[in-house]
Amino acid sequence: MTTAIVIGRNEGKRLIACLKSLTGQGVEIVYVDSGSWDNSVAEARAAGALVVELDASLPFTAARARQAGFDALNATGDLPEFMQFVDGDCIVVPGWIAAAETALRDDPTLGLVTGWRVELYPERSIYNALCDFEWHRPAGDIATCGGDMLVRSAAFEAAGGFDGSVIAAEDDEFCVRLARAGWKLRRLPLEMTRHDAAMLHFGQWWQRAVRSGHGFAQVGWMHPPYFRREQLRVLAYGLILPLLAILGLFASGWLFLAVLAAYLMSYIRTKRGLVAQGLPYWESRRHARLLTLSKIPNMIGMALFHWRRLRGRAMRIIEYK
C-alpha cells in the first residue's frame, strides 16, 4: 500500500490538480502546508487528506515538509509499505503508482524508484523549457533523483529521512544517505509527474539558480566530495573570471578579452553538448546562454550558504514563485 506525501505553499489550482491525480489512483494522502495564505489547506481537507500545517516560527523547507509528512504517518501507528513524495505543483500520471509499487516489490534491494518529470507548459517560456530538458534523464540505476519519488518506508527509516535544514538539493542529500545505507535507486522509463514550473520571468530563473548554488554548497559541505565538480565550475565562471574581468577593465584590455573568450568557449561547449543530447540547434543556443550565465547566481547562492553557516544563521528557503 502507498500513501502520498504532498508538500505545497500557495499552489492554488495546481494543488487541486495534484490531489485529484492521486485520489484517482486510490492512494491515501498526507498534505503538508508551509504557510499558505490561499485555499490550499481547505482544498486538501476537501480531498480527504490528512493535513499538517507547519509551525511558521521555524524556517520552511521542502525537506522539513516531507519529513513532517512522514512523522505524521508514523504517529498514526500505521506506516504504509511505500510512500510517494510529490510536490504540490505536479500531477501524478495515471498508472505510475501501480508501476512503481510493482518495481519495488519485484526487487527488494530497491529503496526508491522514480520516473520522468515532464513540464506541462514548456512553450510558455525558455525557463520552463529549460526545466523540461533538465528533468529528462536516462532510465536505469541512478545515484540521486529529484523530489518526486516512490520510497520504501523501511529504506526511508534506514536512511534517516530528510534533513529539514537543507533548503535546496534536499533530494540529493537524502539519496546519498539512502545509498550509503545499502539501498539501490532506479529511474523507470516511465512518465511519472507533470509539473507546472510557472517560471515566466528572468528574475524567477535567477532566484532558482541562486537556490541551486546554495544546494551545491550545503550538500557538498555535508557530503564531500559530492557536488565538487559543480562547485569548482561555479567558482571558476561565477567568481574568478568575473574578478579577472574587472581587473582587466582597469589594468589590461587583453585580460578582459581573454575572460570574454573563456566565456565564449564555455558557451560553445555547452551548446555543442546540448545538440549532442538531441536538443534542436536553435533551442540549444537559448539554453546555452542561460547555463553559461547561471554560474553567477549559483555563486551568490554558494556564498549565501557559507555566510549563513559561518554566522550560525538559519538556512531559510529561497523561493522563485
| R_g of the chain, CA atoms, integer Å | 20
Residue ranges of domains in the chain, CATH in brackets: 2-199 (3.90.550.10), 203-311 (no CATH)
For residue 83, the model assigns a pLDDT of 98
Residue 253 has pLDDT above 90, yes or no: no
Overall pTM surpassing 0.75 (yes/no): yes
φ/ψ of residue 270, rounded to 5: -65, -45
Please report, rounded to a whole number, the percentage of residues in the chain having pLDDT higher than 90. Answer: 91
In the numeric block, the cell 536516462 is attached to: 138
Residue closest to 127 by CA, chosen among 203, 69, 75: 203
Q: What is the pLDDT of residues 133-186, one digit of tens each?
A: 988 899 999 999 999 999 999 999 999 999 999 999 999 999 999 999 999 999
Contacts of 63 (CB under 8 A, 6+ apart): 162, 163, 164, 165, 166, 167, 170, 173, 174
pLDDT level of residue 251 (50, 70, 90 thresholds) = confident
The SS3 of residue 44 is helix
d(CA 67, CA 65): 5
